[in-house]
Every structure is written in structure tokens, then in C-alpha cells.
Amino acid sequence: MPDLMSRLSSALADRYKIERRLGEGGMATVYLADDLRHDRKVALKVLKPELAAVLGAERFVQEIKTTARLQHPNILPLFDSGTVERPSGATEFLYYVMPFIEGETLRDKLDRETQLGIDEAVKIAAEVAEALDAAHHEGVIHRDIKPENILLHKGRPMVADFGIALAVSAAAGGRMTETGLSLGTPHYMSPEQATAEKEITPRSDVYSLGSVLYEMLTGEPPHSGGSAQAIIMKIVTEPADPVTKIRKSVPPNVTAAVAKALEKLAADRFESAKAFADALTNPAYRLPTAVTVGVGEGGSRRNAITLVGLAIAFVAGFAVALGWSATRTTADSAQPVRRLPLSYDIDDDIGALAPNGEFHVFSAPNSSGEPQLWVRRWRNLEPTPIQGTEGAVGAVAISPDGREVAFSSDFPGPLLAAPIDGGPARTLVESQWAVSTWGGDGMIYFTDSSTAAVGAISRVPAGGGPVEPVTELRDGEVMHLAFRLLPNGRTGLFSVHYNLDGSGAEVWAVDLDDGERKRLALGQNPFYAHTGHVVFGTAEGYLMAAAFDSDALELCSLGGPVLENVRRAILGKVPVYTIAETGTMLYRSGGGSLPVPVLIDRQGVTTGRLREWRGASNPDISPDGSRVTLSHDGDIFVVQLEGGLTTQLTFGEGRNEMPHWSPDGRRVFFTSNRQSSAPDHFDVFSMRADGGGEPRLEFDGEQSIVRARWSPDGQWLLLTTLSEGPTGSDIFGLQPGPDAEPVPLITSRFWDFDP
């Protein structure tokens, strides 16, 4: 079947001669074409197929005509638009045509320079604001102002794709969710766009332009995060830092103008884009009142997460604890955060807080170097050991009355309980993996290691008695962890793990009466807060929160980050934190900021940043330099370096890692445990780079393959294997072919890797 460009060229041959593909935008693929009727170069943009599949063609063409009347030197005009139909009459392509501008986008310039000169940034923003104002007077709101939509031509900014987002939205009607498209780019969305308000005013464009100017001045948008969800929650709930906090040389009038443009409430922003431009160019402009930044300001009236109460900072670089509440009230009810330094040593198993939040139980070495449970009551300066808990390791659970603690003594090992104030421990279960919680129903919930229910959740009466199964493992599930019983006594939350490294873990809810289960979110280690919210951690070090309907077993509000930069355990990437029933939170800080893939040329100059792929790893550039493969959260992706078009190659079947291009650029090789019964055994697979077909097994060895890389001539596949015993990893070479066997290249007693 001919490719998209060939089909398009054939259908429009009487009007346009398509020369080449220029790149990929958020909604369209862009081609350079010759306008045969007018003898000029044009940019022909074809809406993505998933959009064309649900949009009404006539409505789209009608709506996009509203932008044709826009006339302004800083607005890229619309030349043409239309549809291409199949012989059956069904719409195949929706397209629109704009001038082809020699130059670059503002995104290209920012990726290269990071920050712009203040005068240049203000000039660009002011001219874009003038263009927006002209469009607003014609009743057209852009809705998608971002650096990618601002072209720079001979030093003059020109705004592209004016009204395209509106046309798509209007044509789709109520079916936008079918397109998989979110109008507006998360970093530059206004709060009203982020909360999906129906009425969008010109002040939304003012906010987006303020965000673009903020990035031109500081090098980063006003809000960032590891996911679109995290960014949106910050836009709704958190004030942006003043630009002078990052760049002190920004003039007072520009600082004030940016702050006003970024107000949460649309009514508090400039009344027009022209007023924004005037403030940027008026040295005397100041805000009428001082802007103060602090906890609770600018909060949303939609279940905003407000940090309040006790905050404990581990001065040795370990942790912070704080109380928090999620409330529907205004920001005036927010309480100040209080901090108390702690200096004792805590490992990745942070232990548990008492239900009333008044003390902390954790495992740490005693004077003999043996692990033991300790209790730290906040009224005391030092923790004290708990008798009878020598050898205690891993998670602990405190009884609802705060008098006893349940704990493990090995992995797997017996489940024991002991009085916190001293007394002999008693054995409840002979073998289990990890204790989860001590429920208000008098049962202790734990991850079972018995032959009947290995890896699932079971429970045992706190006073001793028969063990009862609570959950059952389904196909592909390796283990259930972190069970939490809700106050209603019939609903439970728990983590479902599909491998042992914590990637791809999910939060599920279960109704204990009928066994019904529902998936809630990607994450792990859930807690139920007294406000009716579920708090859970992500492998990237975020703590998220969302309101929970325990009857429907559903999250029912926008989830957002309660905290960032939470330390993750080495095993399983579990965020290290615990929450008391009162809302006090104890967590270990220092997770580090998520890395952003950066493109650097041979002279060491940064040429681009893949900001949307914060947290991704193992980048590998294609032989022609146009694409890069990345691994993220257990799957493999291919990203076009121009335009950002993304192709997902794997979809959650096992753990997929270490992507590497074949020498001809047609396939991507990677390691995966998808066909192995052991979660830590990886084989070599490959996929077509365009995402077509199914993964193909390339090599199934006795040893787990850490990485596979081709020699440049395509003759050898170099395998890094994980060896048993003290030799660590070794390197083998494989010449693909019938009955090919790996040839040992480096098999020393050391760890040998990354050939």
C-alpha cells in the first residue's frame, strides 16, 4: 500500500506538488509543497488520522474558514483547506495550507539557546501579543500558544495554526476524547483549559503567552513535572515563582507583567493581549499590590491539595514528614508547614506512623549490629528499642490502638506481633513476604508466601487463628503488596506488581464482600487519607492524590502531586513514605530530579531537549540521525527529533529495556522478560521501527541478556550477559544465522559491560 505522502501527492496532484515531509506537530503532519496555481512554496498540514476519523469534514472546513479573515503582519495566514476522500466517499485526509516560512520556530531557538536576551524576549512577546489582540477582536482565540507555534522569520515572530485548535474542537463536538488529543500543550495551558472549562476567553491566550515569555526569560516553563497530570495539577494549584527568583536581571515592569499574565483567575489577568504588550514595554508598570508567594495561594476551588500541619526534615539527607489536607475551602484555611529535624538513621523501609501520628516505629541496627524495631515518640529526643523485635526487617504495621506492632523477621519469614512498650513477641504466621496493615477489623493483612496463595494478600486475626485469602493473582501478576483497609471495613487498596523492579505497578481497589476489583492508576504503595483521597507513589518519585469513591471503586477527581522528589527504594522503586490516619506524612526525601534527554553535537553544544520525556532512559540515535529510541516505564518508544512524533513499540508485556537500532535503521532491538517464567531473565527481541508487526525473538540464551548492541557493519551482535556467581557480567559475540552460538569475547572475573 502506498505511503501517506504518495497517496496525498496523487490526490492533490492538480494543485500541489509535495516535495518532502518537514515534521510532525501536535495535530498534523507537515509537508513542503509547491502551490502549482500560484507558483509559491507552501506548508501543507495534514491532520492526524485519528482526528480525521472522528471529525466532520464539512464542519472542520467551515470552522477553519474563520481564520482566513485574520490579517496581521505577525499572523501566518491561511491559504487553503479541504478534504481528500476515498472512492467510497469516506474522508481520508483533512488538510490546510499556510505559507512556507524560511527560518525556525521559537522552540528550535530555545532548545539551542535555553534563555533569550531580555530585550529580545520582550520584543517577541509584545509582537505576539499584538497579533493575539488583532485576532481576539475578530472573535478568534488561538487556544494553543506555545513555542512550536511561533515562527521566527527575519527576526519577526509569526503565529501559526491560528484557530486550528478551535476548528478541531468545534468539528469534534463532544467527541474530543475519541481523538486521544488534548487541546493545549500542558506546560502552556491556562488553568481554565486544564480544568476543561467550556468557556475559554482571550485571557486564556494571555496566560499561555505569559508562560512562553517565562520560559524565554528563565529557560523553563513556569510549571514542570514528570507527567502531563502532574503539570496540570501545578497549573491549577501552585503559583509560579517570580521570574526574578531565577533571573535577577529581569526589569520590574516585565516581572510584574509576567506575574499578572499568570494569575490563576482569568479575571485577575490583563483584560486584553494589548494591555499585556503595553505593560511589557512600559518601564513604569507595576502591580497595584505586592505579590506574595506561599503555601495555599492561588489554590483551585476544585479539591486543591494543600500542605498543612507537621513537617519533619531529616537533616542528614534522609526524609521529610508533613501533614496535609485536601479541602474544598479557600486558601485562607491553609495552615503553615512546621518542620522538626530528625537525625537518626533510617533505611528504605521507613516503618510506620502511629494512627494518631504521635510516634514512629522503624527498623534500625542495635548496638550489636542486629536489626531491631525502634519507637520514636515526638515528645522524646531519642528513639528507644522495642523488646522482642530483634531481627525485624522490612515493613511494619501498628495496631489501631497504638499498643502493638506487627513485623517480619526475614524474606520470607514469620509474621510476628509484639507490644510496643515491651513484652514477648508472638508468632501469627510461619511464612509471609511483607506485612501491609493492621486493619480496624482486627485482622492483619500481609503478602502471603505459602504454596496456596504465594504473592497474593491474605489476612490473619491479630490474636492468632486461621489464615484467609483476600486477593488472587491473575495472569501476568507477580505480587500484591501494600494492602490498606478503608474505614468502611469492606474496601481495600493494594499494589499490583507485574515484575520485581517496580516498573508498571498499578494501584487497584477491591470490594471484600464480592471480590470485585478495579484498576485505579499507575503507581504503588497506596494510602487512604481521612479526607477521602487516595495517595499513591510513582516510580519517578512523585506522590499523587485523587478523591476516591469507595462505593464505585473509582477515582473521581483530577489527581495531582502532593509531593515531588520522594526517595525511592532501591528494590522495586517504591516511594519511601507512610501516612497516619490524622494526615501526618513521613517520607524520605532526596529522590533527585528526573533526567531530561539532551541532544549534544560533536562540539559539545546542546542542540535540543526532549522535555516531554523527562525520566526516560537509554537513548539511542538512529543511523540517519532523525530519530531516537527511549525506554520509559518498561516500554520502548521511537521519537522523531523534528516534530516529536512518537511511536510506541511495546505495550506493557513484560519489562522492555535497552533499545538499540539495527545498522539499517529498520528495526529496534531490545531486551525483554516477556517470554520468561523468571522476572529477572531477559532475552533479545526486535521490532519494526515503524511499530508494525509483532516483537520477534532474536536470541534466547541460558543467561539473562543485559544489553544487545550491533557492530556498525551489522556482522556481530554483542551481548552483555548476567552471569551467576562472582563473575558478574560477561560479553559475547553472536553472528546471526542458523544455529548461531555466542562466542565468548570477555569473560573475566570482573563486571564487563557496555561494549
DSSP per-residue letters across 326-358: EESS-GGGPPPEEE--B-S---S---EE-TTSS
Helix (H) or strand (E) holding 380: none
Stretch among 4-8, 525-529, 579-583 having the lowest mean pLDDT: 4-8
Q: How much of the chain, in percent, has pLDDT values that exceed 90?
A: 40
pLDDT-based confidence at 250, cuts 50/70/90? Answer: very high
pLDDT tens digits, 440-465: 999 999 999 876 778 899 999 999 99
Which amino acid is present at 156?
Answer: R
Stretch among 14-23, 54-63, 137-146, 256-265 having the lowest mean pLDDT: 54-63
Stretch among 18-32, 342-356, 525-539 having the lowest mean pLDDT: 342-356
Q: Phi and psi of 267, rounded to 5°? A: -65, -20
C-beta of residue 656 within 8 angstroms of C-beta of residue 705: no
pLDDT at position 320 is 35
The closest alpha carbon to 299, from 255, 225, 243, 234, belongs to 234
Tell me the C-alpha distance between 361 and 381, whole Å.
Answer: 14
Tell me the C-alpha distance between 433 and 244, whole Å.
Answer: 51
Q: pLDDT higher for 170 or 491?
A: 491
pLDDT at position 450 is 79
Stretch among 23-27, 204-208, 320-324, 682-686 having the lowest mean pLDDT: 320-324
DSSP β-ladder status, 491-497 and 577-579:
unpaired
Stretch among 297-311, 378-392, 398-412, 488-502 having the lowest mean pLDDT: 297-311
- Residue 648, by phi and psi: left (phi above 0), alpha (psi -120 to 50) or beta? beta
C-beta of residue 671 within 8 angstroms of C-beta of residue 684: yes
pLDDT tens digits, 701-740: 888 898 999 999 999 999 999 865 445 688 999 998 777 8
Q: How many CB atoms lie within 10 A of CB 574?
A: 25
Burial of 34 (0-12, 13-18, 19+ CB in 10 A): middle
Average of per-residue pLDDT across 632-656: 85
Could you give the dihedral angle defined by the CA atoms of residues 410, 415, 416 and 420, in that order, rounded to the nearest 10 degrees? Answer: 80
pLDDT at position 502 is 67
Tell me the C-alpha distance between 718 and 340, whole Å.
Answer: 53
Q: CB neighbours of 469 closer than 8 A, spacing ≥ 6? A: 448, 452, 453, 456, 457, 458
Helix (H) or strand (E) holding 620: strand 617-621
pLDDT at position 467 is 94
Q: How many CB atoms lie within 10 A of CB 272?
A: 18
Looking at the DSSP bridge assignments, the partners of residue 699 are 684
C-beta of residue 237 within 8 angstroms of C-beta of residue 223: no
pLDDT at position 332 is 37
Tell me the C-alpha distance between 11 and 86, whole Å.
Answer: 9
Is the per-residue pLDDT at 405 higher than 80?
yes
Coil vs helix vs strand at 174 = helix
Angstrom CA distances, 466 to 441, 454, 458, 459, stand at: 15, 16, 10, 9
Tell me the C-alpha distance between 164 and 169, whole Å.
Answer: 9
pLDDT-based confidence at 382, cuts 50/70/90? Answer: confident
Q: pLDDT higher for 26 or 125?
A: 125
What's the mean per-residue pLDDT of the chain? Answer: 81
DSSP state of 187: G
Cis bond before residue 202 (omega within 30° of 0): no
pLDDT at position 304 is 25
Average of per-residue pLDDT across 70-93: 78
pLDDT at position 47 is 81
Tell me the C-alpha distance between 213 and 127, whole Å.
Answer: 12
pLDDT at position 78 is 84
pLDDT at position 412 is 76
Tell me the C-alpha distance between 541 and 590, whole Å.
Answer: 9
Q: pLDDT higher for 112 or 164?
A: 112
Rg of the chain over all Cα atoms, to the nearest angstrom: 29
Residue 174 corresponds to which cell in the numbers above?
463532544
Average of per-residue pLDDT across 548-569: 77
Tell me the C-alpha distance between 447 and 469, whole Å.
Answer: 10
Which amino acid is present at 232?
Answer: I
Check if 144 is active-site. yes
Q: Per 3-state DSSP, what percentage of the chain is helix, strand, and coil (rounded to 5)?
A: 20, 35, 45
pTM over 0.75, yes/no = no
Indicate if the alpha-carbon torsion angle 397, 398, 404, 405 is positive or negative: positive
pLDDT at position 139 is 87
Tell me the C-alpha distance between 669 and 650, whole Å.
Answer: 12
Tell me the C-alpha distance between 35 and 14, whole Å.
Answer: 10
The closest alpha carbon to 264, from 199, 344, 206, 315, belongs to 206
pLDDT at position 340 is 54
The closest alpha carbon to 500, from 517, 478, 518, belongs to 478
Tell me the C-alpha distance between 153 and 75, whole Å.
Answer: 12
Q: pLDDT higher for 471 or 47?
A: 471
Coil vs helix vs strand at 49 = helix
Q: How many CA atoms lie within 13 A of 329 on its CB side?
A: 10
DSSP state of 315: T
Stretch among 40-54, 440-454, 521-535 having the lowest mean pLDDT: 40-54
The closest alpha carbon to 43, from 74, 7, 80, belongs to 80
Query: Locate cell 540521525: which residue?
Result: 625
Helix (H) or strand (E) holding 236: helix 228-237
Q: How many CB atoms lie within 10 A of CB 662?
A: 16
**Greatest mean pLDDT range, 24-28, 488-492, 616-620, 679-683:** 488-492
Stretch among 22-31, 365-374, 377-386 having the lowest mean pLDDT: 22-31
Choosing from 144, 347, 501, 730, which is the catalytic residue? 144
pLDDT tens digits, 276-325: 999 999 999 988 643 322 222 233 222 222 222 222 322 222 333 333 33
Q: Phi and psi of 169, rounded to 5°? A: -65, -45
